[in-house]
Amino acid sequence: MSGTLTASRMGAGLWLSRLAWAALGYNVLVILWGAVVRLTTSGAGCGAHWPLCNGVVLPPSPTLHTVIEFSHRLTSGLSGVLAIALLILAFRVTARGHPARLGAALSLGFIILEGLVGGVQVLLGLTATSTDPARGFVQGVHLANTFLLLGALLLTALWASGSPQLRLRGQGRAGTLSAVALILLLILGMAGAVTALGDLLFLPADGTPIDTVKRDYAATAGALQNLRVIHPMLAIVVSAFLAWLAGWFRRERPSPGVNRWSGAVWGLIAAQIALGFLNVALRAPAWIQLSHLLLACALWLGTVTLVYSAMTALTMQGARRAVAGRVGA
């Protein structure tokens, strides 16, 4: 009987792992579709109504902009359903104190915040072609919360798959550098959200990059235009720091996971830089902006995984020594 219960619990744990990984992948797709809403200026497709669309649950005779915005709300709502299911399953199949419970709870919390921030954008009219500087701030907060959501889902998936619990105490310099790296990536992402918005609203159809910078700092330029140049400058600094940190982790916390993910981070940094230059050269076409956002999500997830691998390397080494000691005895 106990064997049957153990097998049942293991099967449920496998479903928890699968659901967490599926939720992570699905939310990346939702994020990309949200970018499509911005790029097509469809954010006002449901009017200044939230959570209803044009004052009704199901809009009749919708325009294309309404279809795009409404579909984004539906897919975002499904993200919430997945997060609730993930939390319920985590509490049903894991023991008290299991880290997957914390990860699932954080995921649901960030999903709720994601919806609230989106609602604020709609209710304040910070959508479509609005050039209100507050839109840039809200867009940045939205992106930071999105990254935190993806990070929480990633950790939930790792913990549900049997990876060790993350211990923050006793990490020393590695812990400090990890925190700096993640904070810098959040700031870079927020700046990128503002720059992408500025590209949509203010990027001229022709001219050189220098001409564009001159327009951004002309006497008639607004705050969103002034801030556009910050992201590429910040990207150089943050990329250099991440590249150095990946090498530092390989020396100070060597492990198969650290070696694998430091290489992945280096590759993603190179791809992002190349795509950033291409974005400027081709004047920010929609497909490059979507690709840039996808790589930004990948870089964030890759960095979180690298940090996680480095901060659990000591735990894994200790477990391997313990196993080796028992085998030797």
In a domain, 30, yes or no: yes
Residue 129's domain spans which residues? 7-163
- pLDDT number for residue 219: 66
Q: Are residues 27 and 156 in the same domain?
A: yes
328 in any annotated domain: no
pLDDT tens for the 329 residues of the chain, in order:
444 435 455 566 789 999 999 999 999 999 999 999 999 999 999 999 999 999 999 999 899 999 999 999 999 999 999 999 999 999 999 999 999 999 999 999 999 999 999 999 999 999 989 989 999 999 999 999 999 999 999 999 999 999 999 988 889 999 999 999 999 999 999 999 999 988 888 877 666 677 667 677 776 677 888 888 889 999 999 999 999 999 999 999 999 999 999 999 999 999 999 999 999 888 889 999 999 999 999 999 999 999 999 999 865 544 444 333 444 44
Same domain, 206 and 304: yes
Which of 146, 163, 180 marks a domain boundary? 163
Number of domains in the chain: 2
In this structure, the answer to whether residues 36 and 149 fall within a common structural domain is yes
Q: For residue 139, which of 34, 215, 210, 242 has the smallest C-alpha distance? A: 34
The pLDDT score that the predictor gives to residue 168 is 87
Q: Is residue 143 part of a domain?
A: yes
The token pair that represents 213 in the structure block:
């910078």
Which pTM does this prediction carry? 0.90
pLDDT score of 229: 85
Residues 232 and 273 in one domain: yes
Please identify, among 100, 129, 163, the residue that sits at the C-terminal boundary of a domain: 163
Rama region for 128: left / alpha / beta (φ>0; ψ in -120 to 50; rest): left
**Is residue 191 situated within a structural domain?**
yes
User: According to the model, what pLDDT value does residue 227 have?
Assistant: 82
118 within domain boundaries? yes
Task: Note whether 19 and 38 are same-domain residues.
Answer: yes
Other CB atoms within a 10 A radius of the CB of residue 267 amount to 13
Distance CA 86, CA 69 (A): 26
Looking at the structure, do residues 102 and 225 belong to the same domain, yes or no? Answer: no
Domain check: are 147 and 173 in the same one? no
Among residues 116, 147, 163, the one where a domain terminates is 163
Handedness of CA 61, 65, 67, 70 (dihedral sign): negative
Q: Determine the pLDDT at residue 14.
A: 85
Q: Are 192 and 210 found together in one domain?
A: yes
- Reference 292, options 276, 314, 268, 308; nearest CA is 276
Which has the closest alpha carbon to 43: 137, 133, 136, 119? 119
Q: Is it true that the peptide bond before 99 is cis, omega within 30 degrees of 0? A: no
Residue 1 lies in a domain: no
Query: Do both 201 and 304 map to the same domain?
Result: yes
Same-domain check for residues 95 and 142: yes
Does residue 107 sit in the same domain as residue 199?
Answer: no
pLDDT at residue 215 in the model: 75
- Shared domain for 231 and 90, answered yes or no, is no
SS3 53: strand
